[in-house]
Amino acid sequence: MRWATLSIFHFQITAKLAAKFLRQNSDLFYSKLHVKLYRWEYIQLLMCANGENFSSNFDRCKLNDTRLWSPSELVSSCPKANDNYACIVLNQSLHLPTDIAKNIWQNAKIRCLVDGGANCWKEFIHKSNESLNFPEYITGDFDSITQETRKYFNSPYIKYQHTPDQNETDFTKAVLFLQPQLEANDIHKVIVFQETAGRLDHIMANINTLHKLQSDILSIYLLSSSSLSWLLLPGKHKIIVPKELVDCQHWCALIPIGSKADKVTTTGLKWNLTQSPLEFGFMVSTSNTYASKEVCVDTDSSLIWSMGLFAVDEL
């Protein structure tokens, strides 16, 4: 699906007139999206004008202005046929369960290794003794990828894209490079293999990329061997928690990285918040757990949601 560029343009006319305008100006659908669509009505309008069924185009749907998230679908062994996503591997040793990493990688519509992430993926392939698809892209400033790895991933079907800008991380540059391919393939979800251990600066840089690039039409998930994290934008959210994680009382967290949240209300957690502020130096909601399979979050500012993804007996 192609999207419209609507810089500073707000719909102040009826849905019918706006849809007619968009159909008459079809060239809008051939430009890149650089605007956040905060109102769901706008997203519905764009998708209807372009002849799309909105219920099948997002990994998280919205009902009554509430975004629905189903993290267990990310690691399902039976991905949906229309559940398009891209997979990115960063420059950190991989410790994901082999079957989960293989399933996500093999079923991704676009696969990308980021600089030294190519070394890590090659090592993962050798350790797991698996035969896996080659990536479509390898990106980065190439200060980490080894010559041995270059030889291993030497194929006319792999595009090497040099991204030398030192003002952005290789992760950020990879997503920016992939944006045209994501749009062309109607992809609204990126699953990133990384680890939330080791260098703190790398961890914070990855979270910064979420703040820069997460939007109403692009969700970026940080998947590690022990957790899944993503950014909740301001508004209402419902997270469907797998029953086994509720049963074993696995951990979850709401973290105000980037800015203070003045009012956060939750239900479904063991320790809920009611119009509570979250801010570093005061209170953050870490080491929480579940009282229900449905967790609802209403926030006036962006928050990192992080959760232990695998039940204890699966690790």
CA geometry: angle at 210 spanning 104 and 40, to 5°? 90
Q: Which band of pLDDT confidence, cut at 50, 70 and 90, is reported for residue 236?
A: very high
Task: Quote the pLDDT of residue 179.
Answer: 95
**Sequence ranges of the chain with CATH classification 3.40.50.10240:** 83-225, 226-315
Q: What confidence score (pLDDT) does residue 76 get?
A: 60
Mean pLDDT of 193-212: 90
Going by pLDDT thresholds of 50, 70 and 90, the confidence category of residue 65 is: confident
Residues 260-286 have a mean pLDDT of 95
At residue 199, the pLDDT reads 86
Contacts of 149 (CB under 8 A, 6+ apart): 118, 119, 122
Quick check: 60 pLDDT over 90? no
Q: Percent of the chain scored above 90 by pLDDT?
A: 62
pLDDT at residue 240 tops 90: yes
Mean pLDDT of the chain: 80
- How far apart (Å, rounded) are the C-alpha atoms in residues 261 and 245? 27
Give the pLDDT of residue 83: 67
The b/e string for 206-239 (b: 16+ C-beta within 10 A; e otherwise) is bbbbbebbbbbbbbbbbbbbbbbbbbbbebbbbb
The residues, ordered by sequence, that sit 6+ positions from 151 with a Cβ below 8 Å of its Cβ are none
93 confidence band (pLDDT: 50, 70, 90): confident
For domain 83-225, give the CATH number: 3.40.50.10240
Q: What is the pLDDT of residue 74?
A: 73
At the top level of CATH, the class of 226-315 is alpha beta
Mean pLDDT for the stretch of residues 76-86: 64
Q: What pLDDT sits at residue 7?
A: 34
Q: Following DSSP, what letter does each residue of the chain receive, concatenated?
A: ------TT----S-HHHHHHHHHHTGGGGGS---S---SHHHHHHHHHHTT--GGGS-SS-EETTEEEE-GGGGG-SS--TT---EEEE-SS---S-HHHHHHHHHH-SEEEEETTHHHHHHHHHHHHT---PPPSEEEE--SS--HHHHHHT--TT-EEEE---TTS-HHHHHHHHHHHHHHHTT--EEEEE--SSS-HHHHHHHHHHHHHH-BTTBEEEEE-SSEEEEEEPSEEEEEE--HHHHHTT--EEEE--SS-EEEEEEESBSS--SSEEE-TTS--EEEE-BSSSEEEEEESS-EEEEEE-S-GGG-
What value does the mean pLDDT take over residues 132-147? 95
Supply the pLDDT for residue 312. 47
- What pLDDT score does 196 carry? 80
pLDDT tens digits, 98-131: 889 999 999 999 999 999 999 999 999 998 888 8
Instruction: Name the residue with tokens 């399933």.
Output: 103
Q: What is the mean pLDDT of residues 80-88?
A: 76
